[in-house]
Structure formats: C-alpha cells, structure tokens
Chain A
Amino acid sequence: MLTLQILANGLVLGGLYACIASGFSLVWGVLNVINILHGSFIVLGGYLAFYAYGLLGIHPFLSILIAAPLFFALGYAMQHTLINRMIAAPVLLTLTLTFGLDLMLSNAMLATFTADFRKLTLDPPLGTLAFGTIVLPVDRLIAMVLALGLTGLLYLVLSRSRIGRAIVAVRMDREAAALMGVNVKRVYAITFGLGTLMAGASGPLLAMIFPISPLTGPAYLGKAFVICVLGGLGSVPGAMIGGLALGVVESFGSLWFGPEHATTLSFVLLILILLVRPEGLLGRKGYA
C-alpha cells in the first residue's frame, strides 16, 4: 500500500517537474541558450499569483491566464533586445549573459519582496482526495493536470501550428530554415517568449505547493537541468517523461535509501543514461 502511495506521490511531483522543465528545454534545444533566468521567472510568476490572490482575490488557477501573456511579452522583449545580440556567440557567453540577467532579476526581487518565505494558502483549502488508503492533495493533483496540460499545449503548438513548425525547422537547421523564408530572429524571440511563458505560468501552480522566495529559483533551475538531460534536450515529450521519471525515482529513492538519498538514485540514473543514451530518453537529432 505504501508503495502505491509513493508511486502516486512521485507521479504528482513528476507532473510539476515536467512543467518546470519544458520551457527551459525548449529554449535550450532551439536557441542553444541555457537560460539561467528560468528559475527566477518561475518565482516571479509565483509572486504574481501570491499578490493577485492576496490583494485582489484572484484564484491562482486564473492567475495563469494573466501570467501567460505577460511573461510571453517579457520573454519576447528580452530576447529581442538583449539576448539576440549574443545569439551567435558560443553557448558559454549566452550562459554568462543569462546568468548576469538572473543576478539582476533575483536581487531586484530580493529588494522588492525581501527574502522572507511566503506561502500561497488557499482559504478554504482544497483538501485531499482519498482513493482507498491512498491520499492525494487536490491542489497538487490539479496543478499536475494543468502542468501536463500546459506542456501538452506547448507540444501541440510546436507540432501543429505554422509558427511551431518554423520553430522546429530552426531547431533542425537554422541556415536551411532561413533559406526557406523563415524569419529566424523572430522565431528565436517567439521561442524565448514561449519558454518564459511556461516558466511564468508554472509559477502560480508551484506557488500553491512550495514556499515562495527569490531564493528558491536555483532549486527549480537545478531540477530543470536534470530533467532536460534525462528526457532529451529540446523535446517537450522528453521533458514530460523526464519530469515524471525524476519524480517517481526520487520518491522511491527516498523510500528505499532514506530521504537523505532521495536524489542519489536519480543522479545515478542520470549518469547511467549519459553513458548509455547521451541524447536522453527521447532526444534525437530531429525534434517534436
């Protein structure tokens, strides 16, 4: 029975992980930019939901609808004005740029919101659902469903829409895409916008579950890294599988080896995957 509960815990956690990682994976895969800002964007989305709920009474699920266009615009503008200047530079330089931007953003958040840990606590709380002896918190369950929904939507956009095909084309071969009339600069900006949107939209979901503070950004970023490598870079289904796998493996790692070693098992798995399948579980040269 405990095993089933742990499996359920792991899947729910994995859904959230998938949401954390999908935008990060997209940007890394398409732009070849390691976006260190990703964790801070999630935190910023969390603050948006926290204040929208606390001051205006807007439910965090609705905040996602507010956060999505705002963060898309923020990401688009940031890519268009700053990151595009460096886009042709080696990956280490763009990493340094986003690292610097992240320092600015997280310190601005520290100055504005202070480092105090806050928590978005719904009143009344959503409670729990019991399936036999398995108990699942409703907020996590909904957050997982929405997170997987968002990730699925991103997948649909990439595989079905015109702009999505353009993004995939640029990911596969930038020069060829440009020759076919794809505006690469614009595709980059839209991709970065989508990645930021995913971060900003997962903020309200995570704010219901984790304490909010500018200091939690790096923790999200760390998870996103592992999931990307696990699932395969730039692949949205990869991020989903990687996230779920990480959630489940961490949960069982904690059960079998003690919570101290929850991440030990997942990193052993990561090393094995890098040895056996360096492109990740679902990674391949093509994409989407």
Chain B
Amino acid sequence: MNDESRMAVVTGAGSGLGRAIAMRLARRAHAHVLAWESPATLTGAAAAPFSVKQSSAGAGDRPCAFRRAPAAANLGLRGRGTACILRHADRPDPSKGVPTMKPVSIRSFACASFAAWAALLSAGAVAQDVIRIGAPLPITGALSPEAKKLQNGMNLWMETANKAGGIKVGAKRMKIEIVPVDYQSNTPRAVQATEKLVTQDKVDFMFSPMGSGATKAASSVSEKYQIPTIAATASSEQVYDQGYKYLFGVYTPNQTLTEPLADLVKKQAAGVQRVAILARNDLFPLAIAQEMEKSAKKRGMNVMYFEKYAIGTLDHASALSQIKSLAPHWIFATGYMNDLILIKKQMADLGIEAPVVTMIAGPAYKEFVSALGKGAENVTSAAWWHPAVRYKGKDVFGTTENFNKLFRDKYGLDPDYGEASAAASGVVLQLAIEAAGTTDKKAVREQLAKMNTMTFFGPIKFGPNGQVDSLDPPVFQVQKGTQVVILPAAIKQGNLQLGVK
C-alpha cells in the first residue's frame, strides 16, 4: 500500500490481525480501506443488516454512500486516510452462540458492497496525481543490453521532469511513474506484458517494447485499449502502416538512413560500383538492408551480393569468403552488436578490405569500438541521433548539450541514439500532455497527431501514419576510435575517409 491510488479490502477486520491491518492501512495518508466486519465486534451498531462506518480524521468529507455507524470513533484513526467498514449481519455472534441479526439477502449485500466500492473508487481518482506509463522491456535475455539503454534514457527523463515538479496538467503538476515489465526478449511475452500493463496496472500511457518487431506486435494491444503509445526504437514502415491511431514513433523511416549515406558515397567516392549486402534475417536489419539495395541501385551501383544470415549465426566465414571473391567496393552489413563485432572480426581474419564498409546498427555504440579496437576504424554507419547534434528544444532538457551533460553526470558516459530516443519518447509524451492540459487519452492523442515542436532530440512532427518525418539522421564514421559525424553538413566534424581493413 505505498501507492495512494490503490484500494484494500480487509475481511475479518472486526478483531485481531484483520483489525490491526485495517487500522494500519487507514492511518496512512490517502489509503482507502474497505474493511469487512462481523457484527459481534461492533457494539451498539444500528439494527440494519449492513452498516458502513466511515471514520476519517482530516478528510472526513469523503463521499460515502452509507450511514455512519456510531462506533466509528473506536477505531481511533489518524492521518488522512479513509476507512469504510462494511458490517456483515448474517454471521453468528460467537460470544452468544446465536445470530443477533436477521440474515441478509444476496441482493442487498451486493448493492451495499457495490456502493461502497463506487465511493472508494471515486475518492481514489480524486487523490491520484501521478501519471503512470507502462514500459515493457527486454530486461533479461538476448536484448538486455538494449533494455538497459532504454531504461537509462527514460529514467533520466522521468527524474529530470519530476525534479522540475512533474508534468504540467492544466493548473496542477503531476509526477511521473514508469512501470517496467520484463518480457524476457520474447516478442509474444511483450504482447502479454502490454496487456497486463493496460488491464491490471491501469497505466495511463505506454512506451513500446524494443525494436520494430515487438513494437508492431504490442501496438495492437495499446490500439485496442486506445492508449497513446510512444515507440522509441521502431523505424520500419511496416510498424506504422497498420492504420493505428495511437502509435507514434520517434525514428524516421529506414531509407532516411541509407539515402544520405549513398549520396555521400556517390559524391565522394566515384569509383564505388560493386556493392555486397549481408543482412541479419530479422525485421529491422533486413528492412534496412533492402532500403540500402534500393538506394544503391537508384544511383547506378551494382548490388552483386545480397544474402541473409540466420539469427544466432556463430560463423560468417563462408558468406564473407564469397563476398571476398566478388571484390566489392562497398560492404554493407546489418545486425546487432554481437553479429557485427563477429562479422568485422572475421572480415579482418579473411583479409577482406574495401573502400567503404557500413554497418547498422552497432558502430553508434561505444562497445563496438572498444570491442574491435583498430578493426573498427573507418567503418561508417548512420543513426537517428548523435550527441554531436545541436538543437534548442522546448522540452524539459532544453538543449542537446544539456541533455548530454545530465546524462554524463548520471551515468558517466556519453549518450547514444538508443538512450536519447528513449528520453525523447518521454519528452514527446510530456509535451503532448501539457499541450492538452489533461491526461485524457483522446485529447493527448490529438496533441501528438498535430505536434510540431523542437526538442533536444531534434524537430518532432509526426506524419499521418504516426511516424516522425521531421528528423535529419546523422551519418558518421569511426575515426581514430571515436564516432565522427560526416553528415549533415551543418554539424559535421570530419570528412568521409575511404579504406577499411
């Protein structure tokens, strides 16, 4: 009962343990207790089959549908809590051995208990000044490093916003509470976790699970219950083409990563003609590889090799030997951290060199560079955000520099795009709630749909399908052990270097 918006029903509250528990709960501020009492323990109670005592010190004006019983003061309640004691008449008085009151009909019992509940629920709604956001996260299992990043980002937003007083809803400020549930890196469980968060935990808003696949699966649940949901890490268009109205994503479509990259290579490395693509057979890695194929073909390049590898592949030597025999100019590999570290290591093992090597998504993370050392040199990549971007936002973080600073202060590391997008999801939701001036889900959804604002993450405006279409994702390259932004021109820190060993 540390949550003031919850209720408790205590049976057998007339004496002993039950009574002690009921009183302890009721003494807490804002705790609402529905206690069930047998008649024997109430002295001088009214003759009605049921009577409800309400005793509250401080907030005695809470609505209660029932007549006050005279013995209420006996409970000696302190604090601002409310206790309703529902008295049950058809149990024999153990001290006398005979029933003292007439048995009660089921109907009157049901009416009484329903009315008591209704009174308590309405009291609970008034007391609530917390906005609860559900977050299904892959805290354990293969995606647990990603979950850590998402949590870092969303927790930083929650703490920063709460420190500033919370989210401004009309005239008052409401604190934020993120409710995480572990879905064990298992997409079907992500759907269950979402269902649980909505139906049992009664969250007000949702953050999506990790990645395009799980986001798509879970979005059907939040759509069904009309819960505005922000997706931090879903970019594939297949997530947003379902006609859903309550799903909003802060990543631009995949081709916004490959198009500028292909432009840059075409412009600065005219000799690049032969392209080899190796993709993890997984929703996002495969989708971005297909975009790469389109971007390359559009520019007259020759895609000589396009193959998929299975999730969990331990050895890429065969595929890479084949790629080597084709002598491509541009090797484009997609996957996650484990895959890409292994692929890059095996490329070096087989003596594969190429003017351009691009990997998505891995080089944006520090782990990639520290794991490969010199092997990571000159690998290019693109992401939706980079700590080098500079925006002046209207959100709780304000500038990108301030977000970077707060992140470093808290975690001792520079933020990467996954962490930033998780914080940005919170920021977007906060801005929408504040613009709506209410936590009403439909009103917040309307504000999200027409949002056109600036954040530390970049300009945010959602397209008609709910996917952001206003960001200009940076292209970067690992140079001397750090990620250097080479596009867009406004924030670039260096130029494209050719030659990857």
Interface: A90 (CB within 8 A): no
Contact of A254 among B148, B319, B348, B373 (CB under 8 A): B319
Q: Is A115 a contact of B321 with CB atoms below 8 Å?
A: no
Instruction: For A9, list chain B residues within 8 Å (CB).
Output: 315, 317-318, 321
Of A117, A210, A247, the most chain B CB neighbours within 10 A belong to A117
CB <8 Å contact, A259 and B321: no
B338 touches A135 (CB 8 A): no
A107 to B281, CA, bound (A): 28
B325: Cβ under 8 A from any A Cβ: yes
Considering only residues 113-149 of chain A, those with a C-beta below 8 Å from chain B are 114-119, 121, 123, 125, 128, 130, 135, 137, 139-140
Set of chain B residues within 8 Å of A125, measured between Cβ atoms: 348
CB closest residue in chain A, given B321: A5
Which of B57-65, B138-146, B239-247 binds A? B138-146
Question: B residues within 8 A CB of A121?
Answer: 371-373, 375
**Least Cβ distance of B336 to chain A in Å?**
9
**Which of B189-197, B304-312, B419-427 sits within the interface?**
B304-312
In the assembled complex, which residues on chain B have CB atoms less than 8 Å from the CB atom of A114? 145, 148
B313 within 8 A of A: yes
Q: Are B318 and A251 in contact (CB under 8 A)?
A: yes
Q: Which residues of A contact B360 (CB under 8 A)?
A: none
**Candidates A117, A258, A263; contact of B338 at CB < 8 Å:** A117
Q: B338 near A137 (CB under 8 angstroms)? A: no
Residue B367 at the chain A interface, CB threshold 8 Å: yes
Within 8 A of A (CB), among B319-347: 319, 321-322, 325, 337-338, 341-342, 345-346
B110 at the interface (CB under 8 A from A): no
A70 CB to nearest chain B CB (Å): 25
Contacts A13-B315, A215-B142, A259-B316: A119 and B371 contacting too (C-beta < 8 A)?
yes
Count A-B pairs with CB separation below 8 Å: 113
In the assembled complex, A2 has its CB within 8 A of some CB on chain B: yes
Q: Which residues of A contact B278 (CB under 8 A)?
A: 259
Whether B321 contacts A123 by the Cβ 8 Å rule is no
Chain A: minimal CB distance from B188 (Å): 18
B342-A211 in contact (CB<8A) = yes
CB-CB under 8 A for A259 and B310, given A2-B321, A121-B373: yes
- Asked whether, in the complex, the Cβ of B281 is within 8 Å of the Cβ of A128, the reply is no
Q: Is the CB of B144 within 8 A of A6?
A: no
B365 to chain A, nearest CB (A): 9
Q: How far is the CB of A128 from chain B (nearest CB, A)?
A: 5
**A174 CB-CB contact with B under 8 Å:** no
- C-alpha gap A255/B317 in the complex (Å): 10
Q: Are A117 and B145 in contact (CB under 8 A)?
A: yes
Which residues in chain A, 207-236, are within 8 Å of chain B measured between CB atoms?
209-211, 213, 215-216, 219, 222-223
Chain A residues with CB under 8 Å of B314's CB are 210, 219, 223
Which interface residue of B309, B349, B367, B375 has the most chain A CB atoms within 10 A?
A: B349
Asked if B349 and A137 sit within 8 Å, CB to CB, the answer is yes
A259 and B319 in contact, given A110-B140, A115-B148, A117-B337 (Cβ under 8 angstroms) = yes
Given the known interface contacts A259-B307, A260-B281, A262-B313, the answer about A119 and B372 at a Cβ–Cβ threshold of 8 Å is yes
Q: Which of A1, A118, A216, A254 contacts B318 (CB 8 A)?
A: A254
Q: What is the CB-to-nearest-CB distance from B389 to chain A, in angstroms, rounded to a whole number?
A: 24
CB distance from A169 to the nearest CB of B (A): 36
Residue pair B342, A262 in contact (C-beta under 8 Å): no
Least CB distance, B371 to chain A, in whole angstroms: 4
What are the residues of chain B within 8 A of A213 when measuring CB–CB? 145, 338
Measured in the bound complex, the distance between the Cα atoms of B318 and A255 in whole Å is 6
Contact mask for chain A residues 89-120; partner B; CB cutoff 8 A; 1 contact, 0 none = 00000000000000000010010001111110
Contact A123 B373 (CB under 8 A): yes
Contact (Cβ within 8 A) A259 B309: yes
B350 in contact (CB, < 8 A):
yes
Q: How far is the CA of A270 from the CA of B253 in the complex (A)?
A: 42
B351 sits at the interface (CB 8 A): yes
A-side contacts of B375, CB under 8 Å: 121
Q: Which residues of A contact B145 (CB under 8 A)?
A: 114-117, 213
- In chain A, what residue has the closest Cβ to B373? A121
- Give the distance in Å from the alpha carbon of A222 to the alpha carbon of B142 in the complex: 15
Whole-angstrom distance between the Cβ of A50 and the nearest chain B Cβ:
10
Q: Is B341 a contact partner of A6 (Cβ separation < 8 A)?
A: no
Q: Indicate if the CB atoms of A6 and B308 lie closer than 8 Å.
A: no
A215: which of B141, B318, B371 is its contact (CB, 8 Å)? B141
Scan B343-378; emit 1 where CB is below 8 A from any A CB, else 0: 001101111000000000000000100111101000
Q: How far is the CA of A110 from the CA of B201 in the complex (A)?
A: 28
B308 (CB) vs chain A CBs: closest residue: A260
Chain A residues 232 to 264 lying within 8 A of chain B, measured CB to CB, are 247, 250-252, 254-255, 258-263
Looking at A107, A114, A213, the one whose CB has the most chain B CB atoms below 10 A away is A213
Q: Which residues of A contact B322 (CB under 8 A)?
A: 2, 255
| Most chain B CB within a 10 A radius of its CB, from A215, A223, A250 | A215
In whole angstroms, how far apart are the Cα atoms of A209 and B373 in the complex?
Answer: 14
Q: Name A9's closest neighbour in chain B (CB-CB).
A: B317
What CA separation (Å) do A263 and B389 show in the bound complex? 43
Q: Bound state CA distance, A110 and B278, in angstroms? A: 30
Output the nearest chain B residue to A208 by Cβ-Cβ distance. B345
The residue in chain B whose Cβ has the minimal distance to the Cβ of A258 is B307
Give the complex CA separation of A148 and B297 in angstroms. 46
| Contact string against B for A residues 1-38, beta-carbon threshold 8 Å, 1 for contact and 0 otherwise | 11001100110110000000000000000000000000
| Residues of A close to B349: CB separation below 8 A | 128, 135, 137, 139-140
Contacting pair A116 B319 (CB below 8 A):
no
Q: In the complex, which residue of chain B has the Cβ closest to the Cβ of A251?
A: B318
Which residues from 71 to 108 on chain B have a C-beta closer than 8 Å to any C-beta of chain A?
Answer: none
**Min distance, Cβ A116 to any Cβ of chain B, angstroms:** 5
Report how far A215 CA is from B321 CA in the complex, Å: 27
- Which residues of A are found within 8 Å of B373, using beta-carbon distances? 121, 123
The smallest beta-carbon distance between B72 and chain A, in angstroms, is 50
Chain B residues in the interface with A (C-beta under 8 A): 140-142, 144-145, 148, 278, 281, 307-310, 312-319, 321-322, 325, 337-338, 341-342, 345-346, 348-351, 367, 370-373, 375
* Leading 8 A-B pairs by shortest Cβ distance: A137-B349, A119-B371, A254-B318, A9-B317, A259-B309, A259-B319, A115-B144, A260-B308
Residues of chain A at the chain B interface (Cβ within 8 Å): 1-2, 5-6, 9-10, 12-13, 107, 110, 114-119, 121, 123, 125, 128, 130, 135, 137, 139-140, 209-211, 213, 215-216, 219, 222-223, 247, 250-252, 254-255, 258-263
Known: A5-B321, A117-B337, A259-B310. 6 other contacts (CB 8 A): A117-B341, A121-B371, A137-B348, A252-B318, A255-B321, A260-B307
26 residue pairs A–B, Cβ–Cβ below 8 Å: A1-B325, A2-B321, A2-B325, A9-B321, A13-B315, A110-B144, A115-B145, A115-B148, A116-B367, A117-B371, A121-B371, A121-B373, A128-B351, A211-B341, A213-B145, A213-B338, A219-B314, A222-B312, A247-B315, A251-B315, A251-B317, A258-B308, A259-B313, A259-B316, A260-B310, A262-B309
